[in-house]
Amino acid sequence: MSRSYLVTGSAGFIGFHLCEALLRRGHAVLGVDNLNDYYDPQLKRDRVSRLKQHVQFVFLRLDLSNRDAVAALFRNAHVDAVYHLAAQAGVRYSLENPHAYVDSNLVAFMNVLEGCRHNQTRHLIYASSSSVYGDNTKLPFAVTDAVDQPISLYAATKRSNELFAYAYSHLYNLPITGLRLFTVYGPWGRPDMAVYKFTRAILAGEPIDVFNHGDMRRDFTYVDDVIAGMLQAERRLPKPKKGAKGPPPCRLYNLGNNRPVELRSLITTLEECLGVKAQLRLHGMQPGDVLETYADVEASARDLNFRPRTTLRAGLERFVRWYLDYHGVPVPAGGPAACN
């Protein structure tokens, strides 16, 4: 059955892939993004151009921190469900520009919640982050773990989103699903993330910055696996509460690979995919970073049939092929074909 969706952050990495997946399934998508310059807006415009090739895609440039504009958007949209992926991303950037996180991650999210509330949105699905787990030493990270000690402003805003969502779900019986995402990578990725930054630097013959001397582990999750989980989450509508004491229709899930990888292993595999050796510039621990992320996906597997299938090697090969093609970079001798 064809449906209509509002996807915020549609020009972003994950939002773009989600829109493509919905459009391929015959759904109508209204994409919203402010096309800010946190990273090169041309990449965002190129994603939007690709989406506009679908007749059922409509794009609207909009700042979600604008309360009146968001209210008008929801009055006129008439969609079946909302995916809220728009946010100011990046742990390290939050040290430099904290106000951007308040506007994009708190004010904007409140405006979206209000829009959903006043227009009886069937289901709101929003992106949270593994960063909410902070310095949690219990592994793997489970959604039942305490997450009241964020170590970055970005993490604090994402945890705030979860609390806002719970309150709105409780007060207005609004079905909401939050998805804690774990280090997503893949084609059309963000230039500020490790895989993209490392690839660019290695091919340019420049050193790559490796924090904590590479002694870090991440639950690198390929974007197609994350999108599969997002599509399943929308289909599983949280049940409205019955009676004053019933639980609100609000759920949280981890979407992670469940196989953390050492940063050194990531670099080694990327070198093999590129056929080029990396120059390393080692640093100490960066403020706001965590040593390890590792997702407990038992609930996601049970409720969403979430089962990541893409190995790191396969995912990096796909990313490298896209990168070389998008940037018009010649294939290095012994390059992507060596990563099988």
Active-site hit among 154, 168, 196, 294:
154
> What is d(CA 62, CA 74) in angstroms, rounded to the nearest whole number?
12
114 close to 68: Cβ distance less than 8 angstroms: no
Under a CB-based contact definition with an 8 Å cutoff, are residues 202 and 152 in contact? Answer: no
Helix (H, G, I), strand (E, B) or coil at 240: coil
Burial (CB count <10 Å: 0-12, 13-18, 19+), residue 185: buried
| Residue appearing with tokens 């910055």 | 209
Distance of CA 205 to CAs 72, 172, 200, 277, 326, Å?
49, 55, 9, 9, 19
Task: Provide the terminal-to-terminal Cα distance of the chain, rounded to the nearest Å.
Answer: 38
Q: Does residue 154 carry a catalytic annotation?
A: yes
Backbone φ, ψ for residue 132 (5° rounding): -65, -20
Which residues are catalytically annotated?
A: 154
